[in-house]
Amino acid sequence: MATTTPASPVDHPPKSEAAWSRKLSQLIQPLVLLAPSGLWLLLLLVFPTLLILELSLIPGFRLGQAAAPYGLGNYLDILQPIYLQVIGRSVLFAVGATVLCILLGFPVAYWIAVIAPKRWRNLLLVGFVLPLWTSSLLRAYAWITILRDSGVLNTALRAIGLPGQQWLNDMPAVFIGMAYSFLPYMVLILYASLEKLDKRLLEAAADLGATPQQSFWKVTVPQTLPGIAAGCLLVFIASIGDFVVPELLGGAASMTVSRLIYNQFLGATRNWGFGSALSMLMILAVSLAIALLIKYGDRDNSLT
């Protein structure tokens, strides 16, 4: 009787080991792809932010001087009335520029996205964002030419019999310059939101007897609310950190947080510790605004 020898079993790794290897591979592959950008962010964003945080905890730190023990002295200095006034002015400029951008940008974005012929929309968008192709410094100098006492605006006012105004080195010039600088961003974001507007809801509202004003507030605005929130946030963040427009159009009386930080690092004061505390305050405010938008943005998206 012939006997057959059983075939030698093939060595297979245990299922748990194979699953572990598969999970490890799935974990490593994204890390390899993200490594270049992650290293870039680590070196140019995380480490500098941690350095600024450390300097902000050294009261009165100045370059070339012995460092004092860690403390919250720099943050307590921010509470002085003169610095709170500067912070309040920066917030006022940012809020004013945001309000102007939404008031001016929404009709433009609505006209381009809903009313204008489709074949012209891309061309209109390109034409509207053309100013962004030039430097913000050149645009600010252009507004100096327009708003100075002998500039284009006062010349036009005097030509029609109205008295000229002092525009430069005052708050109106800052509002005008900021609104002009950041209006294209608002229009682009609102256009992307209005382009997805469900017009069937507008037709249904009209069939049910709603007036155009009621349709706008009850149909159009709720559908575009995420775009409005995103546009306002972007303009606010960019405005509160703007340096060029307040410096060139606002003059010495329009001191903002960004200019105050500049003075602490590169100006005559050279108080790097206080400048770092102000920088951390700006970083915290911007991070908080972005976190609020991320948290409540999905809730708004349910309206679309």
pLDDT computed for residue 304 by the predictor: 39
Q: Mind listing the pLDDT tens digit for each residue in 75-108?
A: 999 999 999 999 999 999 999 999 999 999 999 9
Q: Which amino acid is at 195?
A: E
Alpha-carbon gap, residue 177 to 188, rounded angstroms: 18
Ranges 8-12, 19-23, 29-33, 36-40: which has the least confidence: 8-12
Total domains in the chain come to 1
pLDDT computed for residue 87 by the predictor: 92
Alpha-carbon gap, residue 108 to 176, rounded angstroms: 17
Q: Is residue 38 part of a domain?
A: no
pLDDT computed for residue 119 by the predictor: 85
- What would the mean pLDDT of 281-295 be, rounded to a whole number? 83
For a pLDDT cut of 70, what percent of the chain falls above it?
Answer: 91
Q: Is residue 151 part of a domain?
A: yes
* Both tokens assigned to 194: 């209005």
pTM of the predicted model over 0.85 = no
CATH number at residue 233: 1.10.3720.10
Half-sphere exposure of 111 (CA within 13 A, CB side): 8
Q: Is residue 42 part of a domain?
A: no
Q: Is residue 222 part of a domain?
A: yes
Q: Is residue 35 part of a domain?
A: no
174 contact partners, CB below 8 Å, separation of at least 6: 93, 245, 246, 249, 250, 254
**Does pLDDT of 237 surpass 80?**
yes
Alpha-carbon gap, residue 110 to 227, rounded angstroms: 12
Q: Which amino acid is at 132?
A: L
Ranges 62-71, 156-165, 200-209, 240-249: which has the least confidence: 62-71
Q: Is residue 127 part of a domain?
A: yes
* Both tokens assigned to 19: 């699953």
Alpha-carbon gap, residue 283 to 257, rounded angstroms: 12
pLDDT computed for residue 15 by the predictor: 58
The boundaries of the domain holding residue 256 are: 73-301
Could you tell me which residue, 116 or 21, shows the higher pLDDT? 116
pLDDT computed for residue 297 by the predictor: 53
